[in-house]
Structure 1
Amino acid sequence: MSAGDIDYAFNGYAPDLGGMTQTEVMGRGRIHQLIDDETVALMESRVRKTGVLERLQQWTDEDASGIGVGGRPSLISEKALLTALLLLAKEGTSMFLTSVRDLFMFRLSAASRELLGLETPRTAFVGHVAEKSRWYANTSRAFNRINALMDPFPQERRHSKTYTQIQEILRMHDEVLADKRKARLDEFTKLFLVMTYNEQPRDIRRASKKVDISFDQTYVGTPTTKGYSRKNLASRVKTETETKEKKTLKPGPVDAFAGWHVTTGERVDAPKGQIDNTTPDKKAGSANYRWGWEINIAVRVDSEAPGQHRFPGLAVAATMSLPNVRVAEEAVSLMRATKALGLEAGVGDADKQYWANSTTERLHDDALNEGFTPSTDYRVDRLGHQGGDHGALFIEGSTYCPGTPKPLQNATKELLGHIIDTATYRERIKSRSAFQLHVKEKPDAKGRTVLRCPALGPSPTVTCPLRELLKTATDRPRPAVDSADLSDFTDAICIKHSVSFDIANFKRTAQAFEYGTPEWDKFHTHARNSIESLNHQIKSGGTEDIESASRRRVRGFGAAQIIVTILLTNFNLRKIAAFISDKIKADAKKHVHGEPTLIRRRDREWHNPYTDTYPLGVERPDKLKRPDADDETGGPPQRV
């Protein structure tokens, strides 16, 4: 007898299902496919590997107000919920709580239920509506238990608010609690992303001893799209107060803690304590503004071999923030989270929104303390000669001789002004490097470094009229400082053998690669392409689609970051699998075409007495078997 023929009469009422089956009705048109036990066990093990379950318990204990009266154990554990979210992300399914509920009720075997600690639901057609409501309520409670520990901006989100209510929510906001929970939320994301990094084979993880990153922000939409601006909030509240008939008030925003993302145009970066007053310009149209949040993502890049694809471009750190607020501080958070991978800090690449626009106190100081060296482009107003010290010139991240020719000082300006072409620019940058001051002593504990004139030392790179007496007959031809380029006032760098410089003067402009050189251009292009590619892949409407809120309806800042974390985790796992697959195909292709595979140097060049192997192309010499050797193994005699 088929499922459609089963007697489903209840309460004296037998619904007419027409050509539909009970299974289709219970699934609201969906056919629930069973997930194999191996996949469930894999995702459950990855949740445990993160260490996040221990963190959640720790935070729960911290927030406990005291001794409770107890109660029934939760029907759905945190482990079960996070495993279910990973399973949905792997399928590319929308991250709805109803989808999680259906997975628990219909898509798990008895073995998987036992693994996740779930009871067996009543799946009979009679009473299925109440049973689904019960499981949804428990699923929602499980998610909200996790979210309540980490949501920096708790508020009621079921109903639209008046602007007066929005103002009151902002007034009652607890900044201390928000900082505490924001740190937890970022820790949650870090643990999942570190887990994905560790899922790579060791040779891929350790392709480089250091971790270089490229970071940026990307927009994440809210389930509710109506916003407001703090710039005109007070006037809106006043208008509402003057309105007697509250029923005539139009519904306002739902979420008080979001902001306007600027799609095109200039962005701001409000530090802590300042208010973001960004508001759509109605005259120009509001298409350039979108209400939501920002995901800050760092992708692993390669400064040693840019573009050679030695490892997959994974999201190694991520945080979420309000638009236009604390952009620099979020970048520092990314760098700190990246160090959890266990690698040395390397180069941190970003666009002009970060290094070029931030103050050293908010970004550069902390980044350098974490061990990351900047890589970026400069603002137009900071190109060419930008002051100096002891007579030396500060030009685009380096310190130069005061006699550096003007065309070399202004090379970048003239390139952007279309006065010279790229080939000429490259040649000038190459020539300019000869005029850089030489490092005599590395920075000391007091933050000072000793530099000297490029015409001095064991390997001078220029000749100078002021240093002519030191010139020897064996000098090779070098660029010369023109007397006309010398300053009328001779400062310390032109008089002394070496001068001590405060490295604090270089923090804003210092870079990992000399600006404008092919090395700088190659890495910066690779780094920017890597982060832009990652942003496109996770937002393109495919498997993750983190930008659109249509596939994650749970409201609020904390809920959004939890779900985006799961999606980024799935993205990383997909990238690792694809990278390994491509590597296997490439190796197989080499084998088919007879190309030699990589062999260790010790095996290529020397005899290994331990394995008794010889280098390629070297014939094994005939060796006499020891008289007392075993005939079969060639080793010592075996005891009988």
Structure 2
Amino acid sequence: MRDYTSANLSTPNSVAIVEVDRLVKASAIRQLIVGWRAEDVKSAAGAKPFVDETAALALILLQLRLERPTLISDMAKTFHRLSPRQRAVIGLRHDGEDTRVYGRIGDAVKRLIALVDEFPGRRDKILSRDEFRAMIAGRDPADCRKRRERMFLLGNTLVEGTWKMLPREVRERWEGNIAQDATLVPLQGQRGNPAGHNLNERRRSINSDGGYYQRAGSHGAMTHSDAREANKASPGAKNKGTSIGKSTWGVEAELARLVPNLHDDPDLFPLITLGVSYHIPGAITGEGVRMLNSFVDRGHRPNHYIVDRAYPGGKFQEFHLPARLLGVKLVFDYKDKALGVQLHHTSGFVQVSGAWYLDNLPDVHRDADKVVLVARNKFDAEINRIEKTNPTDAERAEGKGKAGKELAPAEELYEKQLAQRAKYMLTYKGHIQPDGSRRYIIPTDAPGYPKWKAQKGSHQSQSIVMTLPTAKEIEDDVNAGGLKNEQYFAYGTAPWKHAYGLRNGVESANRNVKRAQFEDIATPDKRGVRGNTFTYIVVAMSIVAENLRQMVSFFKRKLALKTIHSKNNYIPSLFWQSDNSVPAPEPEPRPPW
């Protein structure tokens, strides 16, 4: 680490070149790209390009590691700053024709985009109505799907490469816990465009394949004109429009990040992003399972999978069931209206906030989540009211303290109610079966159990197997069978709060890649190439850069001889290395370092 920090101070280009080279080799991304190119081209004849697709990808990552924009002009400047040896390391050829460098890099980027572009078409102008119609008509759906899968594979192959760069001993500490979340990536042309299905209007900006983003709901937004067109196409639909000024034109990136083991030191391994995907805002259907399958295909075993309320909001066949069949332990939140009693089972059980209980559970315990929610909403409203008055720090602290005192009795009562409710709860046993059935143990020591068992229809055994609902039952009730709302930890309990709180890690990653001093994916002007696909590529490489930064920070924490912070973490003498006479830092009590 001492050598690394010294080199990074004196020759940052060289350090970044080594990192890029190691990533390309660890991920084997060159082989993947060469295979796609061989599949697409009709003949391998012709002159070899001076800058191939893999070199273009490496140059994009180099820009991000050096905290420079990914404009073609800026990449050309970096090309000229590199020594012949540095260029050779990452596959950049040069014949001395300096004036041709910009064009060669631009052509390489275009070829890279073409390999993975699910949105082929013109990007040289704002399209008229007829031009847009012609572009859409010219797209081959099967080919677009193939290239969409390639883009997904490209991103996840790259982030997997950062994982492979870690020592095996560090990788083996991770128990498989993951948090997934989506984040907005703005596109150029903030006026946006009519939706892709709206073929009756001309486009308003060059990036015609994005979508409008809003914070509420699933994040997808429609303009008023798009809503009218959608309602005409589907009589009975009730789509509502949003003004352009209240939404943002862009795409969404899905990030799946490692989170700490639940019962260990939270700093056993670097918390890097291990899964990435991309879509139009709001189009999240299938994204959760798609990411899970990618983890499994790469040899990982996802354990606790932590998501917000958007992911389990769909059909259980599209997320809950496939995830459970993979052995995943889901942890998620509910919309307010989904709390409380969710389903009654004919064998004497009731589902409350995702868990199953004997149906003699008192009403006060059934409604506990809703009651405390009212108190929490009142607390939030009071905090918002205080903030609107532009308070001083003292006034803010006083107001928050007073509101907190009013909330405290409700929280204390809720904790007691959860403890009582747990006595009636069925406990999950084993794993979900291939047919979707799952076994629960009945709490025979629950209050009133003998009387409950004596009721007509109550289940008599000490365990029960719950099966999937029939197609007819699903038509009548989206939560038929209860699988849609089931999760691993009982909602609101301390284990649930601890696990769900780890989701903050993925939100932290979202913020990091948007920061101006780092990758700054929130600023589309730093990505000059138009279209969704180049944005997707830059997002993937930004995640790689963020992972590398997290890995370096992790090892700095472990090898620091003194307390480090932002003011001194670049000073070489503060870190231990094996060829130095200074003894290594004391190992962590668990596990040994």
**TM-score scaled by structure 1?**
0.73
1:281 maps to 2:245: no
Report the equivalent of 2:213.
Answer: 261
Choose from 484, 500, 514 the match for 1:524: 500
Q: Per-residue displacement from partner, 1:162-216 (whole Å, max 9, x unpaired)?
A: 13322332233322111100110111101110111122233332223x3211111
Q: Secondary structure at the match of 1:328?
A: coil
Query: Does 439-448 or 507-516 show the bigger shift?
Result: 439-448
- For residues 204 and 418 of structure 2, what CA distance do their matches in structure 1 show? 56
How many angstroms apart in 2 are the aligned matches of 1:438 and 1:118? 59
Match of 2:276 in 1: 318
Q: Which residue of 2 aligns with 1:570?
A: 545
Please tell me the residue identity of whatever aligns with 2:188.
P
Q: Quickly say closer, same or farther: Cα 1:595–1:166, change in 2 above 3 A.
A: closer
- Larger RCO: 1 or 2 (CA < 8 Å, sep 6+): 2
Counterpart of 1:55 in structure 2 is 32
Q: CA deviation at 1:255?
A: 2.6
Q: Is the 8 A contact 1:89 1:543 kept in 2?
A: yes
| Pair 1:556-2:541 in alignment | no
Amino acid aligned to 2:153 = E
Q: Quote the offset at 1:235 in angstroms.
A: 4.7
Once the 2 structures are TM-superposed, how far is the Cα of residue 158 of structure 1 from its aligned partner?
Answer: 1.0
Q: 1:188 aligns with which of 141, 147, 154?
A: 154
The answer to whether the aligner puts 1:404 opposite 2:361 as a matched pair is yes
Are positions 1:434 and 2:423 aligned together? yes
Is contact 2:365-2:421 (8 Å) kept? yes
Please give the residue correspondences for 1:533-612 in structure 2 after superposition, counting only pairs within 5 Å.
533-585=508-560, 597-598=587-588
Q: Distance in 2 between matches of 1:297 and 1:365?
A: 21
CA distance in 2, matches of 1:333, 1:549: 27
Q: Taking structure 1 as reference, are residues 263 and 41 closer, same or farther at Cα in structure 2, changes over 3 Å only?
A: same
Amino acid at match of 1:263: R
Identical pairs, percent: 21
Is residue 368 of structure 1 aligned with residue 368 of structure 2? no
Aligned to 2:201: 236
Describe the superposition over 1:219-242 as per-residue Cα deviations: whole angstroms up to 9, x where unpaired. Answer: 1122333322239945536xxxxx
Corresponding letter in the other structure for 1:211: G
Contact 1:194-1:340 at 8 Å conserved across structures: no
Shift of 1:38: 5.8
Which amino acid in structure 1 is aligned with residue 190 of structure 2?
A: T
CA distance in 1, matches of 2:447, 2:562: 49
Cα distance in 2, alignment partners of residues 582 and 352 from structure 1: 34
Which position in structure 1 is the counterpart of 2:336? Answer: 380
Q: Which has more radius of gyration?
A: 1
The AA in structure 2 aligned to 1:64 is V
- Cα distance change, pair 276–267 in 1 and its aligned pair in 2 (3 A): farther
Amino acid in structure 1 at the alignment position of 2:486: A
- Are residue 45 (structure 1) and residue 11 (structure 2) matched? no
Structure 1 portions without partners, runs of 5+: 1-32, 123-130, 238-250, 469-485, 604-640
How many angstroms does 1:593 deviate by? 13
Letter matched to residue 308 of structure 2: D
Note if 1:296 corresponds to 2:254. Answer: yes
The answer to whether the Cα contact below 8 Å between 1:299 and 1:316 also exists between their aligned partners in 2 is yes
Other-structure match for 1:464? 449
TM-score normalised according to structure 2 size: 0.78
Q: What does residue range 60-209 of structure 1 map to in structure 2 within 5 Å? A: 60-65=37-42, 67=43, 70-104=45-79, 106-122=80-96, 131-208=97-174
Which runs of no fewer than 5 residues in structure 2 stay unpaired?
Answer: 1-9, 232-238, 376-406, 470-480, 565-574, 577-581
User: Does the C-alpha gap of structure 1 residues 444 and 255 become closer, same or farther in structure 2, counting only changes over 3 Å?
Assistant: closer
Shift of 1:36: 5.3
**Residues in 2 aligned to 1:252 and 1:59: alpha-carbon distance in whole angstroms:** 34
Q: Residue in 1 aligned with 2:378?
A: none
Paired with 1:582 and 1:164, the residues of 2 have a C-alpha distance of: 58
Once residues 265 and 137 of structure 2 are traced to their aligned partners in structure 1, the CA distance between those partners, rounded to angstroms, is: 50
Output one character per residue of 1:67-87: Cα deviation in whole Å (capped at 9) or x when no partner: 46x222211123432222222
Q: In 2 relative to 1, CA 496–48 (structure 1 residues): closer, same or farther, beyond 3 Å?
A: closer
Question: Contact 1:393/1:401 (CA < 8 Å) preserved in 2?
Answer: yes
Q: What amino acid is aligned across from residue 385 of structure 1 in structure 2? A: V
Return the alpha-carbon distance in structure 1 between the equivalents of residues 329 and 310 of structure 2: 16
Query: Offset at 1:141?
Result: 1.2
The number of aligned residues is 512
- For residue 120 of structure 1, report the CA deviation from its aligned partner: 4.4
In structure 1, the residue matched to 2:404 is none
Deviates more, 1:439-448 or 1:538-547: 439-448
CA deviations 1:601-625 (Å, max 9, x no partner) are: 9x9xxxxxxxxxxxxxxxxxxxxxx
Which residue is equivalent to 1:348? 305
Structure 1 490/432 Cα, relative in aligned 2: closer, same or farther at 3 Å? same
Q: Aligned pair 1:448/2:405, yes or no?
A: no
- CA drift of 1:307 comes to 7.8
For 1:173 and 1:49, locate their aligned partners in 2 and report how far apart those are by CA, in whole Å: 35
CA distance in 1, matches of 2:38, 2:99: 30
Relative to its length, the structure with more helix (as a share) is: 2
CA distance in 1, matches of 2:136, 2:272: 36
Distance 2:293 2:221 in 1: 20
Structure 1 residue aligned with 2:412: 423
Q: Give the superposition deviation at 1:337.
A: 2.5
What letter matches 1:315 in structure 2?
T
Q: Secondary structure at the match of 1:421?
A: helix
Q: Structure 1 residue 513 and structure 2 residue 513: aligned?
A: no
Q: Identify the residue that residue 474 of structure 1 maps to in structure 2.
A: none
* CA drift at 1:267: 3.4
Distance 2:588 2:242 in 1: 60
Say whether 1:392 aligns with 2:349: yes
The AA in structure 2 aligned to 1:584 is L
Q: 1:492 aligns with which of 438, 458, 475?
A: 458
Deviation of 1:401 after TM superposition, in Å, equals 0.8
Worse-superposed segment, 110-119 or 168-177: 110-119
Match of 1:339 among 296, 307, 311: 296
CA distances 1:299-323 after superposition (whole Å, capped 9, x unpaired): 1112523882332221111111111
User: For the residues of structure 2 that align with 1:403 and 1:172, how far apart are their CA atoms?
Assistant: 62
Q: Deviation per CA, 1:342-390: give whole Å up to 9, x if none.
A: 33211111111111x1111222122223332211111222221222221
